Structure 1
Amino acid sequence: MVTKQDVLDEYDVSELKESNNVDVSEEELENDSKGQLIKKAGQLRDRRNELNQMASERASKRDELNAKTREKVDEAQEHREKRDELNEQVQEHKEKRNELNAEANELFDEVEQRKQDLELSDGKSIEELEEEIEQLEFRQQTEVLSAEDERELIEKIEEKREKLADKKEKLDESGDLEGLIEEAEEVRSEASKHHQKVTELADKAQEHHNKMIEAYREADDVRDEADAMHELFVEAQEAADKHHEDFVRVQKRLRELDKEEEEERKEEREKEMEEEKKEAEEIYQKFKEGETLDTEDLMKLQKTGLL
């Protein structure tokens, strides 16, 4: 049985170790050079992309496990439905079996009652009497007996023949007793068939029940794996999001540095232009005072628009 912890323990999480992650502090943001921050941004971007790929792979594995869980649940549900269907059939055959057994019991009770009414149950049965008569006749024919013994033997034979004749006469008077017995036995036989069906169907229902339990157990195991994989996905995604946030912070700082540099360049340019203008005005003043200007001075005047 695979547990959630087994997955967490066995899955390779070394790629999420702190040593593999990239971090940037507020102090670094404020004090590092633009080149250092550009390098840091590249590291954050690469690690973020790596973690996003890791998260994507784990999400795919999680979704695959969730799909397998649903398959196992569906399989268990199929076995449940089949088990319930078979149990319904078991109940139907039980009811029919019980009805037939009750009917057979009534018929056998009626047979016994008729036998009692006809006194067929008293004494020995017809089969027993016929067997005893046969044995006595065989003894009479095969043994050497005294006159007294033979007379007693003949009397026994006659006595049993009378009882046999009486039994047969009563049996004839019983009418359709044999038919009733046959009917009762047929009903009992039919009840036995339904009982056999009950046993067969109950065994099949138990098989589906066992398979249902096993499928639910497997679904629980796979669900635990999926839950563990989801935890690993969240772990990777959160780490990716953290790197993305830091990447955005560095990018923002780089834009700020670009803006500061642009403002510095603008200030320097304005300062240069102010100095050039001041110098040009001094040259222009000399020009008005009649001093001779060289080519460089003329170019400075033209550049500032004073000439």
Structure 2
Amino acid sequence: MVTKQDVLEKYDIEALTESDNVDLDDDKLEDGSKGELIKLAGQLRDRRNDLNQIASERASKRDDLNAKTREKVDEAQEHREKRDELNEQVQEHKEKRNELNADANELFDEVEEMKEDLELDDGKDAEELREEIEDLEFRQQTEVLSAEDERELIEKIEEKREQLAEREEKVDQSDELEEKIEKAEEVRSEASQHHQKVTELADKAQEHHNEMIEAYREADEIRDEADEMHELFVEAQEAADRHHEDFVRVQKRLRELDKEEEEERKDEREQKMEEEKEEAEEIYQKFKEGETLDTEDLMKLQKTGLL
């Protein structure tokens, strides 16, 4: 079973370090100074970018593993198709072998019937008779025999020769038998050739079957790694998304502070204008009463439009 740790170690990938993450709590967001929030926004942005880069690298590795998984599945499928093709050939040769063996068996049965008809299976065969005749003739030529023994020996030789002549005559009359034997042996030989093909093709089919099983096993292992890599990608992406969301919250808070400052400055400007207007009206009243105004007073009157 492949684990995330296995994948981290195998592909030399660093695990996410929790201490490198940037935390944002509501108190810091609401009560932090503008300077503190600007610094925090930069930290969140940098950590988000780092995490997005990590997520991208993990996604790329995951995609590579998924591609390798598909390659292994395709490889397994090729072995499956080749195995099935060979098994079809095995079946064809089996059928042909069985058909030929059946034909050969039928021919050999016919041979046995013909032998029985010719009584070739009765008694000794020609070769055996020839050997016995040779032995008897050798004995006649080499041993010193009485007239009676030699006469008996000659009779045995003649009897064997008659049996041999009879046997050879029957064989001479069995050309059809020999042809049938030859045909039966040819058919049996052809059946053996098909049996040999069955064995060869079955071995090749088994090799492709084994290769298919191995390819599927490797595909499953790589797929498990891809799944774990996807989990690692999700982990990094979710952390990046969280930092981005916090970054956006800080940016929003900074805009609120900017707006508050702008409103404060506006209030200050309006208050200052009001104060300047009141002061100018006092100066203008003095002017109407005939008091002499200095340059600064005149400028204040001009600024407020009273002069």
TM-score, scaled to structure 2 = 0.96
**Which is further off, 10-19 or 253-262?**
10-19
The alignment partner of 2:293 has SS state of coil
Counterpart position of 1:277: 277
Paired residue type of 1:225 = E
The alignment partner of 1:16 has SS state of coil
Structure 2: give runs of 5+ residues left out of the alignment.
none
Displacement of 1:174 in angstroms is: 2.9
Does structure 1 conserve the Cα–Cα contact (< 8 Å) formed by 2:93 and 2:194? yes
Displacement of 1:140 in angstroms is: 1.4
Paired residue type of 1:86 = L
Counterpart position of 1:118: 118
Does structure 2 conserve the Cα–Cα contact (< 8 Å) formed by 1:7 and 1:229? no
**Which is further off, 132-141 or 50-59?**
132-141
Displacement of 1:170 in angstroms is: 2.0
The alignment partner of 1:176 has SS state of helix
Q: In structure 1, what is the Cα distance between the partners aligned to 2:15 and 2:104?
A: 78
Displacement of 1:152 in angstroms is: 2.2
Counterpart position of 2:235: 235
Q: In structure 2, what is the Cα distance between the partners aligned to 1:231 and 1:78?
A: 31
The alignment partner of 2:24 has SS state of coil
5 Å-filtered alignment, 1:207-226, equals 207-226=207-226
Displacement of 1:281 in angstroms is: 0.7
Percent identity reads 82
Structure 1: give runs of 5+ residues left out of the alignment.
none
Does structure 1 conserve the Cα–Cα contact (< 8 Å) formed by 2:8 and 2:15? no
Counterpart position of 2:165: 165
Paired residue type of 2:217 = R
Q: In structure 1, what is the Cα distance between the partners aligned to 2:73 and 2:155?
A: 84
Counterpart position of 1:138: 138
Report the number of matched residues: 306
**Which is further off, 133-142 or 262-271?**
133-142
Counterpart position of 1:286: 286
5 Å-filtered alignment, 1:62-211, equals 62-211=62-211
Deviations 1:116-163 (A, max 9, x none): 111111121112111211222122112222223222222221222122
Does structure 2 conserve the Cα–Cα contact (< 8 Å) formed by 1:4 and 1:227? no
Q: In structure 2, what is the Cα distance between the partners aligned to 1:91 and 1:142?
A: 64
Deviations 1:48-91 (A, max 9, x none): 00000000000111111111111111111111111111111111
Displacement of 1:8 in angstroms is: 4.2
TM-score, scaled to structure 1 = 0.96
Paired residue type of 2:38 = I
Paired residue type of 2:266 = K
Displacement of 1:175 in angstroms is: 4.0
Counterpart position of 2:250: 250
Counterpart position of 1:7: 6
Q: In structure 1, what is the Cα distance between the partners aligned to 2:150 and 2:237?
A: 114
Instruction: Give the root-mean-square deviation of aligned CA atoms.
Output: 1.4
Displacement of 1:192 in angstroms is: 0.6
Q: In structure 1, what is the Cα distance between the partners aligned to 2:230 and 2:168?
A: 88
With over 3 angstroms needed to count, the CA separation of the structure-2 counterparts of 1:110 and 1:21, relative to structure 1, is same
Q: In structure 2, what is the Cα distance between the partners aligned to 1:49 and 1:9?
A: 21
Q: Does 1:304 align with 2:304?
A: yes
Deviations 1:5-59 (A, max 9, x none): 4534526665522101001111001000000000000000000000000000001
Does structure 2 conserve the Cα–Cα contact (< 8 Å) formed by 1:104 and 1:187? yes
The alignment partner of 1:246 has SS state of helix
Counterpart position of 2:260: 260
With over 3 angstroms needed to count, the CA separation of the structure-2 counterparts of 1:262 and 1:302, relative to structure 1, is same
Q: In structure 2, what is the Cα distance between the partners aligned to 1:98 and 1:15?
A: 64
